[in-house]
Amino acid sequence: MRPLLAYVFSALCAASQAIATGQPPAPAGREAARPNIVLIYADDIGYGDLSCYGAKKVATPNIDRLAAQGLRFTDAHSVASVCTPSRYSLLTGKYAFRQPGTGIASGVEGLLVDPARTTLPSMLKGSGYATGIVGKWHLGLGVKPTDYNGKIRPGPNDVGFEYAWIMPATGDRVPCVWVENDRVVNLDPTDPIKLDYRVKRGEPRSFVNGVPRIGEQTGGEAALWDDENISTVVAQKSNAFMERHQAGPFFLEVSTHNIHVPRVPNPRFIGKSDCGVRGDAIVELDWIVGEVLGKLEALGLADNTLVMFSSDNGGVLDDNGPDKVHGVGDPDGSNGHGPNGVLRGQKGTVWEGGTRVPMIARWPGHVRRGVSDALVSQVDLLASLAALTGESIPAGEAPDSENQLAALMGVDSTGRRSLVEQRNADLFGFRQGMWKLFPAVGRGKGGEARLYNLADDLGETNDLAADQPGRVKEMTDRFNQIVGDSVVQKSPRRRGAGK
């Protein structure tokens, strides 16, 4: 680490430790050991899905423990309200709407991340970190259409992850196989994988392991995953990575399938919640978190590991299946369980319920314990962790990532001044402080804008656009300045909010 950056890093660590413990900071010249970094990235977990965020029908004691020992954020956001663009932005520090083709990826989409870009794992790898990802990927693999019957490149190994054990797309999309680095695990070359995305979910040919998927998979029988054991495998492979690299430092993304559909919890979790299979999948997710935290403790690494927990988008209310949550926006829609709490909307919308997600950070003695109302976004992890590790970001890279390390550590209670929220590249929300704007359709060229003051109206029920035309114009101008010519909204549905 370069001397000046090391000094700055050490000073920040000392200052944050002083805030966290109430003790005076240590001398700035004494460089602290760089922490290991574990990012537990859940799928479709909403703001109200965890007991530390107010859930009553499902208990998440391991995540609650993480929150009690660290900093729980109340205004943290995924970059998009659906998975692929959120994951793209987290890795690249770039709003996904600036990159064509970053909508929800199929299982035959080519790699969406340019290997020439600076990414979160490549930046940390350059800083001396061992880097790994275990679990859901959903950012494309190889060259479209992906051929799973040989070496699959480019992929995670080409964008900074030295090790990858991944689910290529989603649990409900074919192929239903694990990929380790660049090859399908246990693939029999005499039984090649063939995929057909013309087949719709629910058609007879869409079933794999008795579960309907998006697309058809033939072949690859020996390589099929076991749905009931997906979470067990994710926990085992994550813990094995940490054990191999316990000398550190390491960066590990634990990217869970839970609680995306299809929800097939291991039988030992069935009936463990009071809100059906969906709740049981949350209990299983909490078990994964407990396994990871337990391994860090067993290896003696807990005190020098920054652990972060978040979700790729808000909770989904209208899944197909018996565990569907009825009553969009109704907090009592599923036996009293509201996946997004008091927030309006869900996954696939840009109401707060689409992008405001749980986020927790713990690094004992460095991250202040408590609750933070700072406005933070996952797009900022690249710049913030670059600052933490003393790395610089090349010009033109991570253009939307802000250094919000002070907010992440609990030193700053404000966070971002503004934030763009998106679905794909068609629906947008725009935050400035506690003000939320749904820009007019066409970014000011038609339709009507909506404006909400979240300080008084977290449920986004009272549109103030007609009463605040000056603020609408000011925020619209700033939104257009940020977005520029990157996108053109395609859909006027619900005036930029989603359903």
Residue 499 CA to residue 314 CA, distance in Å, equals 14
pLDDT band of 308, cuts 50, 70, 90: very high
Provide CB contacts within 8 A for 361, sequence distance 6+: 70, 71, 73, 306, 307, 308, 367, 408, 409, 410
Is the pLDDT at 94 greater than 60, yes or no?
yes
Q: What is the CA radius of gyration of the chain?
A: 22
pLDDT at 481: 95
For residues 145-149, give the mean pLDDT.
99
Is the pLDDT at 17 greater than 60, yes or no?
no
Is the pLDDT at 144 greater than 90, yes or no?
yes
Q: How does pLDDT run across 397-445, given as a tens digit for each residue?
A: 999 999 999 999 999 999 999 999 998 777 899 999 999 999 986 444 4
pLDDT band of 19, cuts 50, 70, 90: very low
What mean pLDDT value characterizes the chain?
Answer: 90
Q: How does pLDDT run across 443-463, given as a tens digit for each residue?
A: 444 468 999 999 999 999 999
Residues facing 196 on adjacent strands: 216
pLDDT at 221: 98
Which run of H or E residues covers position 38?
A: strand 36-42
Neighbours of 229 (CB within 10 A): 12
pLDDT at 405: 98
pLDDT at 470: 98
Provide CB contacts within 8 A for 311, sequence distance 6+: 41, 42, 43, 44, 45, 46, 78, 357, 358
Q: How does pLDDT run across 323-360, given as a tens digit for each residue?
A: 555 433 334 346 778 999 999 999 999 999 999 999 99
pLDDT band of 74, cuts 50, 70, 90: very high
In the chain the domains, ranked by start, together with CATH numbers, are 36-186+224-417 (3.40.720.10), 428-483 (3.30.1120.10)
Percentage above 70 pLDDT, the chain: 86
Alpha-carbon dihedral angle through residues 263, 264, 270, 275, given to the nearest 10 degrees: 10
* Predicted structure pTM score: 0.91
For residues 387-398, give the mean pLDDT.
96
Q: How does pLDDT run across 153-187, given as a tens digit for each residue?
A: 999 999 999 999 999 999 999 999 999 999 999 99
pLDDT band of 6, cuts 50, 70, 90: very low
Instruction: Name the one residue in this structure whose structure tokens are 């087949």.
Output: 199
pLDDT at 324: 54
- Say if CB 414 and CB 375 are below 8 A apart: yes
Q: Dihedral sign, CA of 479, 481, 483, 487?
A: positive
Please state at what angle helix 230-244 crosses helix 276-298, rounded to 10 degrees: 20
Q: Catalytic residue numbers?
A: 83, 138
